[in-house]
Each structure stands twice: as C-alpha cells, then as structure tokens.
Chain A
Amino acid sequence: MSSNVSGALLDAAAVCRLTQSISEFCAQQLLHHQYVGASPVFFEHTRAVADGVLQFLHKLELSENRSARRIKAERLKLGTIKAYWSSIHELLKPAADAHTLSVPIPLVEALTDLCADIPSIKHAQITVLLSEQLNYFQSQHTGLKEVYSKLRTVLPGLPSFPVGLGFIGVPFSQASSLFTNLVIFHELGHFIFEETEKIRDLETIVSDTVNTIRTATLTTADLLWVQQTVLRWAEEIFCDLFAIRLVGPAYTFAYLELLNVIGGTNTKIASGFHSTHPADACRLREHLAKLRSDGWSNILDLDIEHCDLLKTLAGINDSEYRLVLADASLSGSALIQAFIRILPEVRKLSEECFSHNNQAPARLRDRIEHVYSCLEQGIIPSAAFDEQQPSFLPDMVALTNAAFAFYLEAMSRLIKNIDGETETDVFAIAKWSRQVEMWTLKSIENLRLRQSGIANGRSV
C-alpha cells in the first residue's frame, strides 16, 4: 500500500475516533444533566452531525485504484471535518458546563421570553456557554451556519441546522450573579444584528463611508479589513442601544461593573478603539444619550458612583479618541472619524429594529421606593406586591433596575437592619449583595410565573 493511501486511512481513522468521542460526550451530557435554554438542541444536533460524518466515513473509498488527486482531495476533506469539529469543540464544553445548577435560570428564561416578543428573533434558541474568560461574548451563529451549510454540500446527508440556534457566553465566575449577567442582553443584540435584513443597509453605508477615506494602494483584502472593522464597531453600538432599550440603565450599570473588574475605567484606557471594539468612552456617550431619550433621567440623578463615572467617560471629547494598534496609539485616525460619521445611522437602525413602547421608566419612578423598602427589610419584592398591591407589581425591567440601584446606592440600609452586621464590613456587603441578587432573581421568577398564569387564565 502506498504511503499516500495508508496516510489517508490513518487520517480517516483519526476523524472517526474524534467524531465518536464528540457524539459520546453529547450523549453523556443529555443523560446526566438538565439544561435551560437550547443546549439539548445543540447536543442533539451535534450527535446527528456526528452520525452523518460516520456514514461518510463508511462510504469513503481510499484505495490504490483511486487517483492521487482524489486521495489528496479526500484527505483535505478529512482535514476540514477536523477543523469543523475543532470549532464545535470550543462550544461544547462551555455548553456542557452551563447546566441548571450553574446558571441563573430565571434570567435565561426571561431572556427566552423577551426573544419570543421580538418578531425578528422569535424563533431564537439560545444556548448558554459557561466561559473561562472574564468577559461576555456571543458566538456568531451566522458564520457557523454558513460553514455548516457548506459542509452539507461536501458531505451530503447531514441534517439541517436548527432554526434560530445561537450561543451566548457567560463567565463562570459570574454564573450565579444577576446584575453583571445583564450584559447578556447586549449579546442578544448581536443575535438580532445577524438576523435582521436591515443590516444590509448599514453595510452599504459603511462601505460608502470607507470608500471616502480609501487610498489607491489598498487591495480588496485591505478594504474588506477596514469595512469589517468599522462594521464591527457599529455592531457593538447597535447592541448597546438594543440592550438599553430592553433593560434600561441596569445594562449600563452592568457594563460599568464589568469595566471596573477588568480595569477599564481609566479615561486613557476608555478612549482607546481596538480592532474588535470601539472605545468604551464612545460607547458610554451613546449609552447616556439613549438613557436620556428613553426617559431614564431620574435614575441617572441618583447618588450612585456609577452615574458619575458614566457622565465622566461619556464626556470625553471625540478628539481624545485613539486607535490602539499592537505597537502604536493614534489620535484622530481617519478610521475613527469615518466611524463617527455613521453613528446617526446606527442609532436610526436600532430604533427601527426595536421600537416597542417602553413603560419601564414610568413604572420604576412609581415603584422604586417600594422595592427599596422591601429589600432593606429582607423581603422578596414580588411577594410583598403580590399580597398587598398586586396591581402595583413592577415588571421585570423596573424591578431589576430598582434592585440594581438599591445595590449600588443603599446596601447600608439593609445591613443596618441585620443584627451583628456593620455597614463598613466588606464581607457583609459581599454576602448581602449576593442575597439582594437572589431575592431579585426570585422576584423575576415569581413575575414570570404570574404572567404565564395570567396568560393561561389562571390566578397565581
């Protein structure tokens, strides 16, 4: 047997073992854990793909009577299957880790409910990934979907990609948290950005704007790099505006919490544009304008350090924005100026994509003190409203914002009421802030049950 054929056979055997191992891993997760969201759909789909790959391997003919070109092409195909599995591999373990014991279930359920209310993503099926990074991310499902559709053309017989399947990563250390996990609403924005057809209009605007700054020496690849970078920045702003429209200042507070954890609140650092993200200062300027236009000004006037930080970073002038490359930091770059020119279009697009009438700011104004008084007495807010004033029950957004504001502004009011605790004890603040998050999560769960009970004609 020629070394070319024997090498190809070994390659095929390696793909076979890898595929069997991935299939078995998925089966084990489905057997031993319970999941919230679309993780079971992802595991079942991966098993079905594995079955398709194994069928391909059964039919694969690698022998001396095949041409050298055919053998070479089949080996390349085996390499591509390995590369596909390596992409899926990156998602499988974080998805497996995000079982019901490790993620805030009420928040994920609330996210799923919100998707159902938004026409462009009503079929969305979100798979939560527990990430090792101290950052949140959305894994682009359209890229994966496109790759998969091409895989189906070279491996006929594979099942179709599950409709609306998407992935959102949560840092494992924040898994039990409510407040910082509100950042996932931004990640949901990426999902919408990929799904909505209106994005094509923005791509055209980006392309036209980039053309105004291009130089004669740029190749097609260079031009695509610039367009992709500016579009990526625009996408980040779109997702921020979407998250604010959905959950209000609680998203901005979560963003600032995370920025604080990763050490990004310094004005110089916050002014830096990177190839993956626009400057935090630029993003926060958009946050502030959106919060004001959506009617959240009252919460911005609370005595909260985050509100001051927001105003400080948002106040950084365009001229101080810098483009940060691996070995240089450039002020006033043409790229940043081009991006700033398209910002009005990004705002317009976010309004067009999600224009529901947001009642939460008015509800928050009326109920914030009631939520504060419940939390400072250690009472789950929804329980108090249920018994005393059911019609006064806040919605999930108003409740979350009131609770987040309480955590940032008024933890001392709760700790003072607890025997043996002092309001300056760091450990007491950490312990009771976790408790405030638990009470809020419980309230969100109660609200959801109540709403589903009303929808089914039952009183809860």
Chain B
Amino acid sequence: MTPRNVNSRVPYLSLALGSQRVIDVLLDFLEEKTERREVELAIGEIMPGLKAFLSPGTNIPGSRVFATYQQARTVGETWSSSELKGVVETLERLLDETASRSEQRSNAEKLIDRFIDLSSQALSNFTEPDDAVPERVRELCHQT
C-alpha cells in the first residue's frame, strides 16, 4: 500500500467513525446514559447526506459524513434503496417525541444494527478498497 492509497482510503475510515458515533449515541440512549438532545445532534449531522441519496444524482448539501465518492459508494453497497429509505424513516421516527418509549427503543435497536453494517462495510472497504472506475462513469468517459 502506498501513502497515496492511504489518502484515498481515509474517507472509508472517516465514515466508519461517523457511523460509530451514531451507534455510541444510540446505545447510550438505550442504556439511558445520554440526553435526547445528543441523539438529535448525532442524527442531525447525518440526515442531510442520507436524504441526498434518496434523490440520485443530486449534490450533497454540505454533509460532513457522506461527502466523498468512497463514502457514497459504501452506503450504496451496504443498503439497497428501500433499506436506505427505511433508515431515513426510522431516524425520523426516533426524533418523534410523541412515540412511546418502547417504540423508540425498538427503532434505536434497528438503527444500531443498520449502522453496525455500514461501519463494518466502511472498514472492509478501507482494508480492500476497489479503485476501479464506476461502470456508469465509464459510459460518461466514452462520451465526446
């Protein structure tokens, strides 16, 4: 591995850590070790980036978590479109203050499992990055 490769792998690690922050906050929420405000903050950081994926091809509005190709690719590999939509809806439901505590716990558990999958995939891509040009981009490259 060359240091140049380190540069291109760093976004995967960044995504793994960003996901782990969400996981930590949600676990603390389940174990009643954190304020609701912390959960809102953590979700607020990732929500714009996740929502951008629901409209393919849109620019990502200043998201710090999903701002690179490597990160976007990892999200696409981990969750199908419907799963991504489900994650966004569950996050929104978790923020709903009218939901019962048991419903919130159930949502938090589902989300922890989803973000564990995302963080694992990010770490896997960090270890074995695929530097190939994406297929649809190859089609664009052929355009003159």
Contact = CB atoms under 8 A, between A and B. Distances in A.
Interface of A: 67, 69-70, 72-73, 76-77, 79-80, 83-84, 87, 90-91, 94, 129, 131, 133, 137, 139-140, 143-144, 146-147, 150-151, 153-154, 167, 169, 207, 213-226, 228, 275-276, 323, 325-326, 328, 330-335, 337
Task: Name the 3 nearest CB pairs between A and B, nearest first.
Answer: A221-B72, A150-B17, A143-B10
Given A87-B9, A220-B56, A220-B72, A225 B133 contact: yes
B2 A80 contact: no
Contacts of A216: 57
A80 B13 contact: yes
B98 interface: no
Given A76-B23, A225-B69, A218 B3 contact: no
A330 to B, nearest CB: 6
Contact of A90 (B1, B24, B75): B1
7 contacts: A83-B126, A83-B127, A143-B10, A147-B14, A219-B57, A220-B60, A222-B57
Interface in B116-144: 116, 119-120, 123, 126-127, 131-134, 136-144
Contacts of B120: 76
Contacts of A214: 57, 140
A129 B7 CA distance: 15
Contact of A87 (B13, B64, B112, B136): B13
A146 B15 CA distance: 10
B9 A219 contact: no
A146 B18 CA distance: 10
Given A77-B20, A221-B73, A334-B144, A326 B133 contact: yes
B137 A222 contact: yes
Contacts of A335: 140-141
Nearest to B120: A76
Interface residues of B, number: 58
Contacts of B17: 80, 147, 150-151, 153-154
Contacts of B100: none
A44 to B, nearest CB: 21
A324 to B, nearest CB: 10
Contacts of A323: 141
A149 to B, nearest CB: 9
Contacts of A276: 4
Contacts of A87: 6, 9-10, 13
A442 B131 CA distance: 44
B39 interface: no
A83 B10 CA distance: 9
A207 B58 CA distance: 11
Contacts of A67: 27, 30-31
A70 B27 contact: yes
Contact of A225 (B1, B123, B137): B137
Given A73-B20, A90-B6, A334-B140, A228 B13 contact: no
Contact of B10 (A144, A222, A226): A144
B13 A69 contact: no
B21 interface: yes
